[in-house]
Amino acid sequence: MNKVFITGVSGLLGQALAEIFLENDFFVYGQYFRHQPEKKENAKWLPGDLSSLKKIRTFLEQNQPDLNTCEFLINNYGPITVKNISDLTAEDYCHDYFHNVSSAIEITRFFIQRARLRSVIYIGFENVGKQMAYSKVLPYAIAKNALLLITKSMAENYPAIRFNLVSPVSMTGAAEVLKKKRPVPPRKVAEEIVGIIRSSRSGMNIMIE
């Protein structure tokens, strides 16, 4: 049975991902912080705080026997700062960069070194790769665009592993809707991600609308 590790499994997209992967006969390991998902067959929920490098490394080391068996990594963790640009502080930029980029790098590095990794998917957002100005989500946009460059670099340096960045528009039920487009259901995004995992497809910024 194929095994996948999903960060942020208790969130909107995380729950949909776990459900779809289980339907497709994967064993799911899922990281959560406060809200443990409902117990399911062929799933194991792993409590963990990803708010600092020390805590990330502790979580990975504690769960190493399980995570070492995973061939697929879905990095779904990544909070967003919504604030007027005039009110932003250096801490806001550092916060979004750490939680969306540094954490992803640390987790990916662990899997490359320890597991038999076949595929990695990072989650972007609808404006990744576009040149535009932002009024409320600039730190988040900077972080997600950095993640696009990291995806390209990882794909170049680790050709045996498929790296993809999936960028959905805002999802139904999300606290923040970034543009006035019709939100997409989390299940649709999750189905697309499972399809990417099951295929040999590779792409730097796969848009889902």
CA distances, 44 to each of 6, 26, 27, 53, 111 (Å): 11, 12, 8, 23, 18
- Which residue has better confidence, 59 or 179? 59
Range name among 48-52, 96-100, 184-188 with the lowest pLDDT average: 184-188
Is the predicted pLDDT of residue 194 greater than 90, yes or no? Answer: yes
Total structural domains within the chain: 1
Residue 64 belongs to domain with CATH number: 3.40.50.720
What confidence tens digit (pLDDT) does each residue in 107-123 have?
999 999 999 999 999 99
pLDDT score of 206: 78
Rounded Cα distance, 47 and 129, in Å? 33
Read off the pTM: 0.93
30-56 exposure pattern, b = at least 16 Cβ within 10 A, e = fewer: bbbbeeebeeeeebebbebebeeeeeb
Query: Strand, coil or helix: what is 35?
Result: coil
Range of the domain at 10: 3-208
What confidence tens digit (pLDDT) does each residue in 130-189 have?
889 998 999 999 999 999 999 999 999 999 999 999 998 887 766 666 566 678 899 999
pLDDT score of 176: 61
* CB-based contacts of 187-193 (< 8 A; 24+ apart in sequence): 187/16, 187/19, 187/20, 189/13, 189/16, 190/13, 190/16, 190/17, 190/19, 190/20, 190/21, 191/20, 192/166, 193/17, 193/20, 193/74, 193/121, 193/166
Rounded Cα distance, 11 and 30, in Å? 11
pLDDT score of 183: 80
